[in-house]
A and B are shown apart, each in its own frame.
Chain A
Amino acid sequence: MTGNGNIRLLSRNFGKSGQAGIETAEQRGAYAMLKKAVRMKPEEVTALVKESGLRGHGGAGFSAGMKWGFIPKDTFPRYVCVNADESEPGTCKDRLILEYDPHLLLEGALICAWAVQAERIYIYIRGEYFYPTRIMHKAIEDARAKGFIGDNILGSGWSCTVHLGTGAGQYICGEETGLIESLEGKKGWPRLKPPFYPAAVGVWGKPTIVNNVETLAFVPRILEIGADKFAALGTPKNGGTALLSLSGNVKRPGVYELPMGVPLKTLIYDCGGGITADRKLKAVIPGGSSSHILTAEECENLRLDFESVAAAGSMLGSAAVMVIDETVSIPRLMVWMTRFYAHESCGQCTPCREGTGWLLRLATRIADGKGRRRDIDDLYEVANNIDGKTICALGAAVAWPTKSYIKKFRHEFEALVKE
C-alpha cells in the first residue's frame, strides 16, 4: 500500500465521540472553511472545485465544479438539494457521514450554496434512515442557533436556510429528478431530462444543484488542503479519495476511505481481510447492484476509478464493491438483483414496469430449476428491450447487469435448465 493509504479526508472524525455535537465539531475545525469560502467570490469557489477534479460520488461521476457552473446567470431563487437517499444495494457510505459528521455535510452544502448563490438547501434523506435523520435534524438546529444558517451568514450579506426533505421508501427518489418530484410533494416519477437539467430547471422550475452527500462533504476538505493537493491524491481524472463500501463474502466488510485509483485487491485483501473462509473469489460487482459483474480474472489488475472500471466493462457508480465467492449461484444472484428493480420500478414506462417483473419471473424459474433453455435467451431479450427505452436510468440499471450475468456465467444458467 502506498503512503497515500492513510489519508483521511472524510473519515477523519468517524468513530470519534461528540463529533455530531456542534461544539466539538467546531473545536475540530468545522465551519472554518465556510468562513474562508464566504470571503472568496462565488465563482472562485466553483473554479476551485472544478480544478480539484472532484466528481460526483452518487453514481454518475460527473464533475461537481462543472455542474455548479451550469447554473444560469440571472434566474433566482436557486436551490441546493443534498441527495441523501442512498439506496442502491451495496451502497452504505453516506450513512456514516450523516451519523458521524453531520456538520461536515452541512458545511459542504453551505459552501456549495454560496458558490451558486442559493437561498435554500434541502437535505433529502430516505425514510428508512431514522437515526441519521434525527442526527441531521439536531445538527441543522444547532448550526442555525450558531448563525451558520440563516440571515447574513458570517457577515457575508448572503442568507440561506437548510431544511430536511423526507423520502418514504422508494429507490427511484434517489434519481435526481425523481427526488425533485418527491420533494415537491408528489410521487417520485422521474422527469425526462433535457441537457443541464435540473441545474437550469429544478425544484419548482428553478435552478437547482443536486449533489450526493459524499460529494458535498469533500468540499470543505478541498478548501482546506487546496485543489492541487486534492487532485494529486487520486488519478489524473479522478481527484481525491473515495469512501468505498465493501460488502458480501469478505472477512472484514466495512466502509474504507482510499485514494481514487486504488487497486481493487487492496480493498478486498488488505482492508477486507480476503474472502470469507478463504474460499475462491468468483466475481465482483464493483459499483452497486446496477453495475456489470466482473469475473475474478477481470478483477486481477483492476483499479478503482471511473475510467479504469469503465475500461474493464463496468462502472464505479457509487463505489459499492460487492464480493461474491465460489459458493454463490449467479442465477440466484440474478433473482435478488431483479427482485430489487421489479420492486422499485416506478411504473411510468412500460418496458421497465413490465420488463422488470418479467425478468424476475424468468430468473426465479431458472434458479429454482424449473426453467427451459429458451428462458435464458428470453432473459437477454427482455433486458435488451428495456435498455435505452425508458425515461430514467433504472431501465439500464437492471438491463446491464442482467446481460452481463448471462454473458459471463451462461454455463451456470444452462446447468440449471431443462430442455
Chain B
Amino acid sequence: MQISDTLRKKAEEIFFRFPPEHREAALVPLMFEAQRELGCITPDTERWLAETVGVSLVKVREVLSFYCMFRTAPAGKFLIMLCHNISCCLAGAENLQQHLESKLGIRNGETTSDGVFTLKYAECLGGCSWAPMMLINENQYYQLTVEKLDRIIESYRKGQPILPEEPTPLLGNVGEPAPA
C-alpha cells in the first residue's frame, strides 16, 4: 500500500520520543497519525503498522480495538463528538442529542447518507464547567444551546466552519471569588 512521505516523517518523529529499544511504544501515537491521514485503520494499514513498529499483527489489532478513538471504517467528513455525561446532561445535553438526531436523521455511530457528518456520543470530554460540550473533528465547542448547535452545524455544512474560541474561555473570575 501507499504510505505518504508525511506519514513516514511523522513516524520518525514519533520513534524519536522513545528509547530505540522500545520502538513498540510508538504504536498508539503512530496509529493516531495514520488514522488522521488515511481516515481509518484498514487491514493494510495494520500490516504497515506492525512492520514499522516491529510487533505482531495481533498486537496491532488488540490496540486498535481497545481505544475508542480508533476506527476501522472511515467516518464522515466531520465527526461530531457530543458529550452526554453527567455535567453535560445537567446542562441539557439530552435535549441537544434529540435535536441533533432528528436534524441529521442519524443516531449514535451513524453517518449521514451524503457522508458529511458522523455522530458519536462521548463520555466526558473534559469541558464539564463549559457544558454542554462537543468536538467537531479537532475543534472544541462549549456552552451549547440548540440555536448555537444549529449555527455551528450549518456552518460546517456550508464548508465554512465557525471556528471555536481557543483557548477555553474563562468563566466567572478564575482564582478570585466573586464579591459576596
Contacts from A to B (Cβ < 8 Å): 1, 5-8, 11-12, 14-15, 20, 86-92, 94-96, 99-100, 120, 122, 126-131, 135, 163-171, 182-188, 204, 245-249, 252-258, 266, 270-273, 285, 289, 320, 322-324, 328, 333, 336-337, 339-340, 343-344, 346
Contacts and interface: CB of A to CB of B under 8 A. Distances in A.
B100 interface: no
A90 B166 CA distance: 20
19 contacts: A12-B175, A15-B174, A20-B167, A127-B32, A165-B28, A168-B68, A185-B27, A187-B66, A187-B67, A252-B172, A255-B171, A270-B178, A271-B177, A272-B172, A323-B90, A337-B86, A339-B123, A340-B86, A343-B68
A90 B87 contact: yes
Contacts of B29: 164-166
Given A1-B180, A128-B81, A166-B28, A91 B170 contact: no
Contacts of A333: 86
B124 A96 contact: no
Contacts of A171: 123-124
Is chain B's binding surface mostly helix, strand, loop or mixed? loop
A95 B133 CA distance: 14
Nearest to A340: B123
A373 to B, nearest CB: 26
Contacts of A20: 167
Contacts of B124: 87-90, 171, 340
A254 B66 contact: no
B70 to A, nearest CB: 6
B86 A258 contact: no
A311 B122 CA distance: 33
A36 B175 CA distance: 26
* Residue with the greatest number of chain A CB neighbours at <10 A, chosen from B91, B122, B167: B167
Contacts of B70: 168
A182 B87 contact: no
Contacts of B171: 252-255
B178 A252 contact: yes
Given A87-B124, A247-B129, A328-B90, A130 B140 contact: yes
A11 B138 contact: no
A320 B177 contact: no
Given A168-B70, A270-B180, A182 B90 contact: no
Contacts of B69: 127-128, 168-169
Contacts of B168: 95-96, 99, 131
B176 A130 contact: no
Contacts of A324: 90
B55 interface: yes
B87 A89 contact: yes
Interface residues of B, number: 57
A184 B24 contact: yes
Nearest to A77: B19
Contacts of A336: 84-86, 89
B76 interface: no
A185 B55 CA distance: 10
Given A245-B129, A328-B90, A127 B67 contact: yes
B31 A168 contact: yes
Contacts of B179: 270
Given A87-B124, A100-B167, 16 more contacts: A11-B174, A92-B126, A95-B127, A130-B135, A166-B28, A167-B67, A168-B69, A169-B67, A169-B69, A184-B24, A247-B90, A247-B91, A258-B177, A271-B177, A339-B123, A344-B123
B22 A204 contact: yes
Contacts of A346: 66
Contacts of A129: 126
Contact of B128 (A92, A166, A183): A92
B116 to A, nearest CB: 20
A182 B22 CA distance: 13
